[in-house]
Chains A and B, each alone.
Chain A
Amino acid sequence: MADATHAEVHRHPAPTSFIRKYIFSLDHKVIGIQYILLALTAVLVGMIMSVLMRVNLSWPGTHIRILATLFPTGAPGGVMSPEFYLSLVTMHGTIMVFFVLTTAPQGGFGNYFLPIQIGAEDMAFPFLNMMSFWVTFVGFMVLLLAIFAEGNLTIGAWVSKLGESFAAGSGTVGPIGGWTGYAPLSALGKIAGPGQGAGVNLWIISIAIFCVGSLLGALNFITTLLNMRTRGMSLMRMPLTCWAWFTTAVLALLSFPVLLGGGILLLLDRIAGTSFFIPGGSYVSGALVPLHNGGSPLLWQHLFWFFGHPEVYIAILPGMGATSHILSTFARKPIFGYRAMVFAIFAIGMLGFFVWGHHMFISGMSPYSAVAFSILTLSIGVPSAIKTFNWIGTLWGARIRFTTPMLFALGFVSLFVAGGITGLVLGQTSLDFFFHDTYFVTAHFHLVMGVASIFGMFAATYFWFPKMFGRMMNESLGKFHFWITFLGVYAIFIPFHAMGMLGMPRRYANFGEYEFLKNSHGLVAFVTVAAIVTVAVQIVFYFNLVWSMFKGKKANDNPWEATTLEWTTATPPPHDNFAGHEPVVYRGPYEFSVPGASKDFTMQTEPEDTDVSVGLGRTSGKGGHGQH
């Protein structure tokens, strides 16, 4: 655990200037909030894009005046072109996966609360931490530049000066190849279509920068957790949030370098004439592609999904951690099967590296390896089921307090089951003959990695807001937000399965070409209405955040009567988290309703002699006996 010399190294004085305090801050709490603000901005852009996509699908030809003004080439008269739609698909996916689902859960809440929950003063490398945020921020700026480089003629003309492969201004809002950027569509350059010039280059550069930022963050998380736990904070006394952030950091450390490497190779194919992904004899847009020979399109898919599948778990594991933490708190019960939960998190993380091929069953890779990937894929359902059973077990015999964070945590469990369970369908090679690249897939991953993760983050926001800002969020607005969002996301994504049953392909700008899709019109329109309502209700969430920050009810240090270290310190926590005092931990993280104790929650810092319980038959995560 932490010793005195360690503590000295990481101690840095509280900054006084505005810039060092709020902008280039070394404080993990400020950096965490910066990440959350970045995610809150990015998710707005991503949501607006999804509404535009829905409008285009259900009412093609709709005139949207603001689009005519902003993007006169891609949406002449405010009507989206097919390529404009596809660039929305690409940017929506990229923004949501990278700048929302990878930033807020890990860089945001993880950064803020991991050091506090393990009793540390800061992250192990505060400077790297600051760098990781600002590098990520630059990545986001580059992605925004991709929107305007392709969508705006003036900016496009300026970007085009960077070189031949940066041809811009094609009227899209970025590349049209989807967030997976499959080569050779993404490797060929502007001859492959609009958006495939500067749009793709900037998209790759943005993601490469993002990878670097994530690597810096991952190193920091792992080092901090392994070296800086306070006295008594054994690994098995850590809150499950810490286990989730730690596993996520390990996944990020092992998977982002592969994407970074893949991205660099793709960029070289585009600007340096290499042929990693472009085979010889390609004939594109009426001409033979010169110079390229010997590349493999499947290589890109392998590199991408070797990252891409762990990325799914990078998005959802922190949500699982937050959900476990919050469920236990408001159930007023210890988490059911703490040790099993830890093993399940790790099993999911490990297995997550061996299943990437299930994205590629029909890609042309060896059908034998598809069989292996398929069986491994369904195995990953086992630890996922264990987690679900344990969440429900935690609720058994509970005294549930239905606060807003608890509602979102319960929503997480429901959505995780609904989204995860269709993995049993999609993971089978024989069923992928039909379902691959249909809306069934879109339904699956939106529910599980998209919406469930976001519910984890909503739960985390409502839960930790009082600690971060010293005021409670408004409960009535919060509950209203929960109800509409919970019903809304189901109304959006359950019908996606029905579209999948019809065989509706993903990434179609329009369904009108096909007779076999004609029964889908009602569904498509229904989903659009549900999406518009659900997105609109998020205004309530943003309002609640801002309003509560200034006008919310004042919070005390432990408003939820929770047990972990973040609730033992001042609100908001001081610069060094515990005001020079080093917390000592005596028990597990979720000691609620201990028989004989005076309150129904026993803090991790409460010394041994007040522990009157001599519980029998506990699995683990319990108090008392680790350190002596």
Chain B
Amino acid sequence: MGRVLGIAIWIITLLSVWMFVSRRWWFPEAISEHGPSVDRQFMITIIVVGVAFAAAQIGLGWMVWKYRDTASSGRAIYSHGNNRLEVLWTIVTAVIFISLAVMGQKVWASLHLHSAPAGSYRIEVVAQQFSWNFHYPGKDTAFGRTDPKLIDDSSLNYVGLDETDPNAKDDAVVPTLVVPVNRPVELILRSKDVTHSFWVPQLRFKQDLVPGMSIPVHFTVQKIGKYELACAELCGMNHYKMKSYMLVLPEDEFNQLVALPQEKFQARKDELLNKYQLPNY
């Protein structure tokens, strides 16, 4: 039984390691400026994790193989442990784990412990059960006033835009996120009803949208294209289809689009959604 168990543990270990090494199921290609750093930190971590996992499992398998009770074997070794070993492996694991932890803050700090760079393009995001609203300031780059009391889904005022505010005149609110390539973007995340989460796998970025809070986040996208945007926080029955797209456009195409008034913005955005293709998966 010992040998069978040892082999079973080794095979499980091999298959688990293969699953990662083969890269058959892997991240979709990163498109953000910070994305490659996330991937690199993951690579470092998964190597440490993989080595530790394999070492522990192989060791366990070896012990059950080697120290199975046989008729010829005498008594077990009488040992209560070894303090020097305890100190050694405590220090070694502590150093490795804490180093990983410290390294693992780098990308986080670069995005969350700094405010958005100057010249970022700002978009307000308002999530609701089960759709997304993206509010663009228009040519004047000033957002019209919004107020929850003015929200009226039935008349399509999803974000409560105050039409009497002059700044609101050229604003557009559309269900698709459109961002410029290679220019920092700042999103102001809000929710009308329950907690949602903004999630674009290629962006290597996720952030909850919490009712009652306004959460500013920023990132820079480096690849033109169309990407799926999903909700990653359980928000109710149709959570699984709270879907939208993130369109990443060349600078001039983007500038032309966001200068358009609401209706034309909608129409043009639909054309662009057809023009660009999703990545191959």
Contact = CB atoms under 8 A, between A and B. Distances in A.
Interface in B186-224: 192-195, 197, 199, 201, 204-208, 210-213, 215
B107 A430 contact: yes
A505 B89 contact: no
A392 B67 CA distance: 11
Given A184-B194, A434-B38, A615-B78, A386 B86 contact: yes
Interface in A277-292: 278-286, 288
A39 B67 CA distance: 35
Contacts of B21: none
A326 interface: no
Given A297-B212, A331-B76, A434-B206, A382 B2 contact: no
A371 B109 contact: yes
Interface stretch (A309-317, A393-401, A570-578): A393-401
Contacts of A497: 19-20
A257 interface: no
A501 B26 contact: yes
Interface in A26-53: none
A516 B243 CA distance: 12
A424 to B, nearest CB: 5
Nearest to B6: A410
A184 B37 CA distance: 34
B73 interface: yes
A83 B83 CA distance: 55
Contact of B228 (A81, A194, A486, A516): A516
B49 A337 contact: no
A399 B73 contact: yes
A499 B26 CA distance: 9
A410 B59 CA distance: 12
A278 to B, nearest CB: 8
Interface stretch (B162-170, B173-181, B230-238): B230-238
A76 interface: no
Q: Which of B27, B67, B69, B86 has the most CB of A within 10 A?
A: B86
Given A332-B75, A502-B28, A422 B49 contact: yes
Given A283-B193, A414-B60, A421 B81 contact: no
A368 interface: yes
A622 interface: yes
B142 interface: no
Given A382-B93, A501-B25, A425 B45 contact: yes
Nearest to A193: B236
Given A182-B233, A421-B52, A497-B19, A428 B27 contact: no
A552 interface: no
Contacts of B93: 381-382, 385-386
Interface stretch (A237-245, A458-466, A506-514): A506-514
A621 interface: yes
Interface residues on B, range: 35 or more
A367 interface: yes
A378 B101 CA distance: 6
Nearest to A417: B56
Contact of B113 (A193, A332, A367, A386): A367
Given A82-B240, A397-B67, A425-B49, A402 B2 contact: yes
A589 to B, nearest CB: 11
A400 B235 contact: no
Contact of B192 (A278, A284, A436): A284
A176 B278 CA distance: 32
Given A185-B235, A379-B98, A486-B8, A392 B63 contact: yes
Given A502-B25, A518-B281, A618 B80 contact: yes
A407 B5 contact: yes
B230 A514 contact: yes
Interface in A536-579: none
Given A362-B197, A379-B97, A501-B27, 20 more contacts: A82-B240, A182-B234, A279-B213, A282-B192, A283-B192, A285-B129, A370-B112, A378-B98, A392-B59, A418-B16, A424-B45, A436-B206, A438-B232, A487-B12, A490-B12, A501-B25, A501-B26, A513-B243, A592-B78, A621-B80
Interface of A: 81-83, 86, 176-178, 182, 184-185, 188, 192-194, 278-286, 288, 295-298, 331-340, 361-364, 367-368, 370-371, 374-375, 377-379, 381-382, 385-386, 388-390, 392-393, 395-402, 407, 410, 413-414, 417-418, 421-422, 424-425, 427-434, 436-438, 479, 483, 486-487, 490, 494-495, 497-499, 501-503, 505-511, 513-516, 518-520, 523, 592-595, 600, 613, 615, 617-622
